Amino acid sequence: MTAITINFNNVVKLNDDQFYQLCRDNPDIKFERKGDPKNKMSRRVLS
């Protein structure tokens, strides 16, 4: 398994519902929310 950490802070701000929809729209990719509460935009993509 390869883990890739992507910081979306400067690209897009996703709320909880948008992140949930992103996960639902991409069932073949495992997304994780990481980081402190101020920085919820860091995502870990596991494939």
State residue 25's pLDDT score.
94
Write out the chain's pLDDT in tens, 47 residues. Answer: 677 877 777 888 888 898 889 889 988 888 887 765 554 444 555 54
Strand order in the sheet with 30-33: 3-7, 42-46, 30-33
